[in-house]
Structure 1
Amino acid sequence: MIHLPAADGTLYAYEPRTSPTAHAAAGGELRSRIVYSAAHVVADPFRSAPDEPAAVDWDATLAFRRHLWSHGLGVAEVMDTAQRGMGLDWAGAAELIRRSSAEAKAVGGRIACGVGTDQLTAPAATLDEVRAAYEEQLAVVEDSGSQAILMASRALAALAKGPEDYLEVYGHLLRQAAEPVVLHWLGPMFDPALTGYWGSEDLDEATEIFLQVIAAHPDKVDGIKMSLLDAQREIDVRRRLPGGVRCYTGDDFNYPELIAGDDQGFSHALLGIFDPLAPLAAAAVRILDTGDSEGFRALLGPTVELSRHLFGAPTRYYKTGVVLLAWLAGHQSHFTMLGGLQSARSLPHLARAYELADRIGLFPDPALAESRIRQLLTLHGVSH
């Protein structure tokens, strides 16, 4: 029995489970869906501090990517899950792109890497500066041999005067991309600096501009990732995509239904929640590979409560819960994050994340997870 803190300051009793789920074995390639996990980075606990350059534990970070590949998932590298723009600077991101891409080649793993403009530490004065920043990062990804994910740009959002600026910048980048890219629309719940992306705060208007970009260059768009936490909007956009352009769901609230799909189509996946859920997610998709959509939903559906908790407002701090679960699961030896972001969530929030993860059998060693959450509770003054 363990006593966990509730949001109102009281303690409640929870009985941890003693065995993990039976659906955690590694396996080969997934067939019916392309599934990426946006992967977190493991900080170097001896060198990580707020306002310091990113200090990454490269061995542990790459080991976690091998864990994801072992389950048949792809790695979406240097995305917001990796604290891009929230602790991971461009120098660290570029190094991670090179190292992860080399590791992917060595093990035969699928990888795609984020391309942005975050090396611009001062506000851009012109669209040419934004384009040049994108081009610099695109070159690093393409030189590494990985697929590019064109991420939303804070610099572009701050500078653009309207939809025409987005059409011009993205059109330029897509024309020069060596291979088809994934377009990523990250909503303001993940990054408030991206409010009004595509030139309008009206999502209907923004959606039309987004679709215009794709329609103008369908041969250069492998797929899109929408992170708006709006299932119906994703479905509507998915049905309007040109033939051959995939939809990768980025909806961490509604992913089972979007991946399962309907009689008019389905979404592939590129999800931050599939970082902690990798074994269960892979097992669920293998069930879907057999055509058993009900079995897929039965296995993945119970994970949604945990995901909605981790991605609850303020959503941009979901990374704290993701790294907590990696520590509790034994994928890293500490609960330290770049920039001290482990402090971004309250103790009751973290305790609830532990409970929800334990209830679905997420931890390969439940005793280790219990021991570590007890350490965290004790550190915060909760006696047992």
Structure 2
Amino acid sequence: MTSLILPNYDGGTREYSLGDAPRWNRPAAPLTSRRAYAAAHVIPEVTADNTSGAPARLDWDATLAYRHELWSYGLGVADAMDTAQRGMGLDWDATQQLIKRTGVEAASVVSSGAAAIAGKTVRDLVACGAGTDQLDLETLPSGPGGLQAVLDAYREQIAVVTEAGPKVILMASRALAAVADGPDDYLHVYSTLLQEADRPVILHWLGTMFDPALAGYWGSDDVAAATDTFLSLIQAHADKVDGVKVSLLDAAHEVALRAALPAGVCLYTGDDFNYPELIDGDGAHHSDALLGIFAAIYPAASAALQSYDAGDPVRARAILDSTRDLGKHIFSAPTFYYKTGIAFLSWLNGRQPGFQMVGGLHSGRSVVHLARTFELADRAGLITNPALAAFRMSDFLRINGVGA
């Protein structure tokens, strides 16, 4: 049994012994009981600048290999999302390359006929965010000119995703939040885009705990009023909406919203605190998943979905519950730094050569926070190579002065 000394929040230390390597099985057939996308992060070149404001230079081999790993567990990939550091280091030039390359890789997986994704399409395997982050908010005009700039920016990004083959996710827009003057402006922009869409898209509602710049989205700081606007949009264009991803970390709101959605429109939970009960459902409805935490817990998430497929919801729920403490910790306040924990686990498990993130975001969490991430991941059976993880964790602690 491997053990090491971990730091405590009170300034002390403790000895921690790792568990045995887990045994998670990849699915032998496509997952069918729930739709699930893991929102994957990106892996930069370790020798790139990787500081705030520097152009993103990605390690394409490692970044795309991570997506193949997720697909091998039967999960779809949600790409070019906030997990991939949209608005926090991943610039539009790099994002375009990510969307195009992921589309090519997804097509290769589809054509391979792998058991876990047999019969799936590229759109089943990958959905990509289309937003407006190529705009400079400081020079964005107000009024109708600003709304037109937002529309044109969305159209540019939608075209890139559509041409690459993935499903389009209409991401929440900082630019729209900055120029919109009430609900009607949101309805104008989104209705126009949905009318123009050639295939159903996913609508993304991201809360301020993930991005403070999105305050007042859908035209109101009142969640009930914003929800009414959101629902009116969906009801008017239900044939163009595949589903909605809601990331408000409010389980009661999500349950009420999914019950109010038109038939055929999915609710992809984005609640990284309450996903076990939301995915499990209430007997009448369940949530599907488009989750950042799934990029950290994907072997367990896949096992849970396999259990739902096998008619064993009790085991499925137990597996999801076993990962809840890790999810709550990774997504603890300030929530917008959750990406750091996902990249840290990726590095511990040997999925990337160094603990680096574009924009310098690897410094977004404390040493003690990451040590707790390590411990909770181990307890959930998500340290896939304990010897490697212990070696890397020990090096990380020593370099950061723990036990020096």
**Which whole-Å CA distance do the structure 2 matches of 1:70 and 1:206 have between them?**
38
Give yes or no for contact 1:97–1:113 (8 Å, CA) kept in 2: yes
1:67 correspondence with 2:69: yes
User: What letter matches 1:315 in structure 2?
Assistant: T
Q: Calculate percent identity across the aligned residue pairs.
A: 54
In structure 1, C-alpha distance between the alignment counterparts of 2:102 and 2:368, rounded to whole Å: 34
* Equivalent in the alignment of 2:218: 198
Is residue 43 from structure 1 mapped to residue 44 from structure 2 by the alignment? Answer: yes
**Alpha-carbon distance in structure 2 between the residues aligned to 1:278 and 1:15:** 23
In 2, the alpha carbon distance for the partners of 1:28 and 1:113 equals 24
Residue 196 (structure 2) pairs with residue 171 (structure 1):
no
Q: Which residue of 2 is the match for residue 153 of structure 1?
A: 173
Q: How does 1:214-233 map to 2 (within 5 A)?
A: 214-233=234-253
Q: Tell me which residue corresponds to 1:357.
A: 377
Q: Aligned residue for 1:370?
A: 390
Count residues with an aligned counterpart: 383
1:297 and 2:299 equivalent? no
- The 3-state SS of whatever aligns with 2:356 is coil
Q: Distance in 2 between matches of 1:339 and 1:152?
A: 21
Q: CA RMSD in A?
A: 1.0
C-alpha deviation, 1:348, in angstroms = 0.3
1:1-384 to 2 correspondences below 5 Å: 1-17=3-19, 19-25=20-26, 27-50=28-51, 51-108=53-110, 110-123=125-138, 124-125=140-141, 126-383=146-403
Cα pair 2:300 2:319 within 8 Å, conserved: yes
Q: So what's the TM-score if we normalise by structure 2?
A: 0.93
Match for 1:64: what amino acid? Y
Deviations 1:9-51 (A, max 9, x none): 111221112x222224454311101110000000111013212
Structure 1 stretches lacking a partner, 5+ long = none
Contact 1:21 1:360 in 2 (8 A): no
Q: Provide Cα deviations, 1:295-335, integer angstroms capped at 9, x if missing partner.
A: 11111101000000000000000000000000001111110
Distance 2:30 2:209 in 1: 32
Cα distance change of structure 1 residues 27 and 373 upon mapping to structure 2, 3 Å threshold: farther
The separation in 2 between residues aligned to 1:328 and 1:191, in whole angstroms, is: 27
Matched residue type, 2:23: A
Contact preservation (8 Å) 1:148, 1:181:
yes
State the distance in 1 between where 2:70 and 2:50 align.
Answer: 27
Residue pair 2:135, 2:175 contacting (<8 A) in 1 also: yes
Between the aligned partners of 1:150 and 1:130, the Cα distance in structure 2 is: 12
Q: Give the match's secondary structure for 2:127.
A: strand
Contact 2:26 2:72 in 1 (8 A): no
CA distance in 2, matches of 1:344, 1:58: 23
Tell me the distance in 2 between the aligned counterparts of 1:141 and 1:360. Answer: 35
Secondary structure of the 1:239 match is helix
Matched AA of 1:314:
P
Cα distance between partner residues in 1 of 2:98 and 2:24: 30
Contact 1:28–1:70 (CA under 8 A) maintained in structure 2:
no
Between 361-370 and 127-136, the greater mean CA deviation after superposition: 361-370
Q: Secondary structure at the match of 1:114?
A: strand
SS at match of 2:150: helix
SS in 2 for 1:276: helix
Partners of 1:163 and 1:155 in 2: how far apart? 15
What amino acid is aligned across from residue 118 of structure 1 in structure 2?
Answer: D
- Secondary structure of the residue aligned to 1:224 is strand
Quick one: distance in 1 between partners of 2:133 and 2:346?
26
Partner Cα distance (1:92, 1:2) in 2: 38
3-state SS of 1:275 partner: helix
Q: Is the 8 A contact 1:24 1:280 kept in 2?
A: no
Counterparts of 1:121 and 1:56, CA distance in 2: 23
Q: Deviations over 1:236-294 (max 9, x none)?
A: 00000001101100000011111111121111100000001111100110001122111
SS at match of 1:336: coil
Query: Following TM superposition, by how much is the alpha carbon of 1:363 offset from its aligned partner in structure 2, in angstroms?
Result: 1.5
Note the residue ranges of structure 2 that are not aligned, 5 or more in a row.
Answer: 111-121
SS state at 1:76 partner: strand
Q: Against the structure 1 CA distance between its residues 24 and 327, is the aligned structure 2 distance closer, same or farther, given a 3 Å change threshold?
A: farther
Contact 2:243 2:266 in 1 (8 A): yes
Moved beyond 3 Å, runs of 4+: 24-28
Whether contact under 8 Å (2:355, 2:362) holds in the other structure is: yes
